[in-house]
Amino acid sequence: MTKCPICDNGKLKSGEIEETMFGIYLGKFPAEICDRCGESFTSEEMTKKIEMIAKEKGIWGLGIKTKVAKTGNSLAIRIPKNIAKFLHLKEGRDVFIHPEKDKFVIETI
């Protein structure tokens, strides 16, 4: 049995994981799961399959790094076109923004 590379204590056992990306359910996939820390590892082949499904659902690459800009006395963050499309955001639409620990959340309402 393989030792877990994350916690270095647990052993990896074959199991199944439910994969989600940006809150979208992608499906169940076979994986090696650590019996101590619960970390899961998918094979290269499965990782590629998960990537393919995410691409099919149009959510692959939606998470990107962006910069905070200044506009007047406020700060602005540009929302990339594909994220705006995913969230059905359009100019003039109301959104609710709030901080959440180390996140900045924009809720579509």
Chain positions contacting Zn ion, by CB under 5 A: 4, 6-7, 10, 34, 36-37, 39
Report, in Å, the least distance between residue 44 CB and Zn ion: 20
* Beta carbon nearer to Zn ion, 33 or 59: 33
* Beta carbon nearer to Zn ion, 7 or 77: 7
* Beta carbon nearer to Zn ion, 31 or 34: 34
- Spatial distance between the Cα atoms of 64 and 97, rounded to a whole number of angstroms: 19
